[in-house]
Chain A
């Protein structure tokens, strides 16, 4: 395994590129984490949610009298009660609306209908069974194709001016130029594919504990939120509470993966209930509630067409996508781009022309979709192009690695403006591909594949490649905002008199290792050891404003802010050192953790000595202290890339398959902590495998959700998950202060296509061209038999 390490030097005293063991581990391995469910307040009540059994139904009446009468029940909250406080509906992060508790109708199975507030969690759940709801079932719309048919039942009849089930129509690229490219093409290949509905399913479900002080009006809400500051502002706007009286605290979070970005009805009802009752109210979601009602992902029906010449040069790309949004458009994504960053679909390839047409439709399903471990729908885009390239390779009889290589954006083309409007910051794709091929033993694998094909072996070999490029790290704020809130991020750094420090950030980690990585950034810039730096996130009263942790944006934004604020403090430290050493500032040299006098290296002041002086002996006329705040608005996204190579063995008689080798070459620029980066990549690869092999949420024709627990919604265990071989190349971002790019999601974005390409490649000689995810054994078997007639 290779890792990029910056050699220790005066400028780099050894904290960059070091696999520092995680500082945050201590509490987790002792069972002393502090997750939302661990928060217990005196006099606390418990909330449970009654959910709709129907996908689409009119509510004639709700009788909660028996539930209210149950000893221990304090209140039953219904949509009608919330409506009296104008809280029955709330905005989504895409500017649509969704019900907090249903009033007129239920629009998906699992929709929140009423909440019981009780002294005890068991009693709260008992009371749910005593609530009688008179539903009048309505026909359910369960696919976006159905939804857009003439005469389809209108799902959002609550919205003025909404005459059909269309959510949006959005295009990117140049239609005319793309038509012209296709007119000149020797070959056009196409692929129809469905990226199924999936669910991020962090092992900790959502929850909150809302404590509204009836005397002061201060609302303190502990919440499973990846974006606490944004949530505070949304709460202020929705509930009309003064923002200084809202404190959102995201304590330790048991995984997020995009699922914990949106505002969910449970948070709002618990807060409203605490406000009305005057006691703390705790809501902890159960797994079924999490799976059937919170942010799902994917559910894109896609058609891609690729125009090529006879030599394999790509000339143009035409894409149509239809998205199943559920009953509310609730993507957590920049408002300017209706289908997220799906138009990043040209991927790693120099495509002179591209045109992308996207449509979204309402259906009777849970609202969504969140970007599940990806930067705003790039996962779907990456899957489409990487599958399409493989289809093209088979159709024109080229090696898929060669076809990729000859169409890559070349190093001298950066910064590269794509046909759909992205400006890629840096990249060098061929070395990553070559390294993957070399490490996998590509030539030998192809020979082995040919031998097995020739012998008609039961177990055929497939090699799947995906060379993905991602766009992540939003802002820049000129293009990226959520509900008008610009996507920058921030860091506040205070160095204490004894030379220890606290770094406060607007992002919120959920396992990404920020308490170590961001401490290393400050250590790199100031020379204070990481273990002397406390990294604080998640408490809106005690951290500067920021948009949170998702879409691999923390290192590109908050990481940059941390580096820059530390550099500002270093400049102040220089002034203090000059004063202490009685020399001019320009006579000082920075040695990683101290200033020395040029020509007199024995005369030094360490950062710790300078920090002490900042509070005890600072120059007159200068502000005391050593602290600062930096808001960082990135000039561009960062564009990490990777090649993932999967070798799969497929039993052509049963359709069973398994990945037998996985080589990942990731280039995310400069790696601050390689151990943590590799941990992120392995987690991402596993979720890529999960989607390729097993994860899916389906619905029957009545809109009943199939996949409402972990016995029906399958998540890979250690047993199925393959072993990973990781490698890297390093192409720094030219605009990030540390040369770093985001990485947390790259492998989830890129690897699904590699798995599917591997399985299809194994049976391509039998005539199979596509198998949609999840690639179940039954689907492989069917595809072989269908192709063989």
Chain B
């Protein structure tokens, strides 16, 4: 099937098998390897990407389902050579260790902050609870999201 998808702002047209998973399309057809596969059952979230503004688990969606839609992956987070505030905060707060869950976790956090720019710790923990991390114990991820929220708010004020 022919599909046309806007991926990280650029239109991509491909001929894919109807059964091809979105995560395999992104990784193997488009060469965007930031989304990983961890569980095959929509439980862990390492495959998370953003489709039309909403985080989805790309191991449970077919590539053909995003025909005509817009997908953002971790490779599309930085702009003009500047890290997204969420990326910068994950580094600043030691919010990652092995890095395998990190792209999905950051995309969820960024989408969540669009919706709730000044969240409480509890709201952050709930928002990221669809994504597993085995290394960090989450505390520094939560701190990273808090730091990103603060930095995004102060950038907006200064603008």
User: What is the chain B residue whose CB lies nearest that of A40?
Assistant: B28
Asked if B11 is at the interface (CB within 8 A of a chain A CB), the reply is no
Give the residues in chain A near B101, CB-CB below 8 Å. Answer: 203
B84 CB to closest chain A CB, in angstroms?
Answer: 9
Asked whether, in the complex, the Cβ of A29 is within 8 Å of the Cβ of B106, the reply is yes
Asked whether, in the complex, the Cβ of A711 is within 8 Å of the Cβ of B139, the reply is no
B105 CB to closest chain A CB, in angstroms?
Answer: 9
B39 CB to closest chain A CB, in angstroms?
Answer: 4
Asked whether, in the complex, the Cβ of A37 is within 8 Å of the Cβ of B37, the reply is yes
Q: Among residues 21 to 62 in chain B, which have CB atoms less than 8 Å away from a CB atom of chain A?
A: 24, 27-28, 32-41, 43-44, 46
> What is the size category of the interface that chain A forms with chain B?
35 or more
User: What is the chain A residue whose CB lies nearest that of B102?
Assistant: A28
Asked whether, in the complex, the Cβ of B135 is within 8 Å of the Cβ of A683, the reply is yes
Asked if A502 is at the interface (CB within 8 A of a chain B CB), the reply is no
Asked if B91 is at the interface (CB within 8 A of a chain A CB), the reply is yes
Assuming the contacts A22-B91, A29-B96, asked whether A682 and B132 have C-beta atoms less than 8 A apart, the reply is: no
Asked if A782 is at the interface (CB within 8 A of a chain B CB), the reply is no
Interface string of B126-138 (1 = CB under 8 A from A): 1011111111111
Q: What is the number of contacts between chain A and chain B, taking CB atoms within 8 Å?
A: 172
Asked whether, in the complex, the Cβ of B138 is within 8 Å of the Cβ of A288, the reply is no
A738 CB to closest chain B CB, in angstroms?
Answer: 21
Partner of B73, one of A31, A255, A284: A31
Asked whether, in the complex, the Cβ of A202 is within 8 Å of the Cβ of B94, the reply is no
Asked if A294 is at the interface (CB within 8 A of a chain B CB), the reply is no
Give the residues in chain A near B90, CB-CB below 8 Å. Answer: 25, 29
Give the residues in chain B near A204, CB-CB below 8 Å. Answer: 36, 38, 46, 98, 100
Question: Interface majority SS on B: helix, strand, loop or mixed?
Answer: loop
Question: Interface majority SS on A: helix, strand, loop or mixed?
Answer: loop
Asked if A718 is at the interface (CB within 8 A of a chain B CB), the reply is yes
Assuming the contacts A29-B87, A31-B33, asked whether A203 and B73 have C-beta atoms less than 8 A apart, the reply is: no
Give Cα distance in the complex from A709 to B38, angstroms: 11
Give the residues in chain B near A682, CB-CB below 8 Å. Answer: 136-137, 139-140
Give the residues in chain A near B32, CB-CB below 8 Å. Answer: 31
Give Cα distance in the complex from A32 to B103, angstroms: 10
Asked if A52 is at the interface (CB within 8 A of a chain B CB), the reply is no
How many B residues face the partner with a CB closer than 8 A?
58
Partner of B132, one of A205, A510, A710: A710
Asked if B65 is at the interface (CB within 8 A of a chain A CB), the reply is no
Asked if B75 is at the interface (CB within 8 A of a chain A CB), the reply is yes
User: What is the chain A residue whose CB lies nearest that of B141?
Assistant: A718
Asked whether, in the complex, the Cβ of B44 is within 8 Å of the Cβ of A203, the reply is yes
Asked whether, in the complex, the Cβ of B37 is within 8 Å of the Cβ of A29, the reply is no
Interface string of A8-34 (1 = CB under 8 A from B): 000000000000011011111111110
Asked whether, in the complex, the Cβ of A30 is within 8 Å of the Cβ of B98, the reply is no
Give the residues in chain A near B73, CB-CB below 8 Å. Answer: 31
Asked if B125 is at the interface (CB within 8 A of a chain A CB), the reply is yes
Give the residues in chain A near B132, CB-CB below 8 Å. Answer: 203, 710, 715, 717
Q: Among residues 2 to 18 in chain B, which have CB atoms less than 8 Å away from a CB atom of chain A?
A: 17
Give Cα distance in the complex from A383 to B7, angstroms: 50
Asked if B142 is at the interface (CB within 8 A of a chain A CB), the reply is yes
Asked if B97 is at the interface (CB within 8 A of a chain A CB), the reply is yes
Asked whether, in the complex, the Cβ of B100 is within 8 Å of the Cβ of A32, the reply is no
Give Cα distance in the complex from A724 to B143, angstroms: 12
Give the residues in chain A near B77, CB-CB below 8 Å. Answer: 31
B92 CB to closest chain A CB, in angstroms?
Answer: 7
Asked whether, in the complex, the Cβ of A29 is within 8 Å of the Cβ of B98, the reply is no
The 8 closest A-B pairs by CB, nearest first: A31-B34, A28-B99, A511-B98, A254-B100, A511-B97, A31-B74, A682-B137, A710-B43
Name 8 interchain pairs, CB-CB below 8 A, sorted by A. Answer: A35-B36, A252-B98, A679-B135, A682-B139, A683-B137, A709-B43, A710-B39, A710-B44
Question: Besides A29-B102, A203-B36, 16 other CB < 8 A contacts?
Answer: A29-B96, A30-B78, A32-B34, A122-B19, A204-B46, A254-B46, A287-B38, A511-B97, A511-B98, A511-B135, A678-B94, A686-B134, A686-B136, A710-B132, A715-B134, A718-B138
B residues sitting closer than 8 Å to A (CB atoms) are 17, 19-20, 24, 27-28, 32-41, 43-44, 46, 73-75, 77-78, 83, 87, 90-92, 94, 96-103, 106, 121, 124-126, 128-142
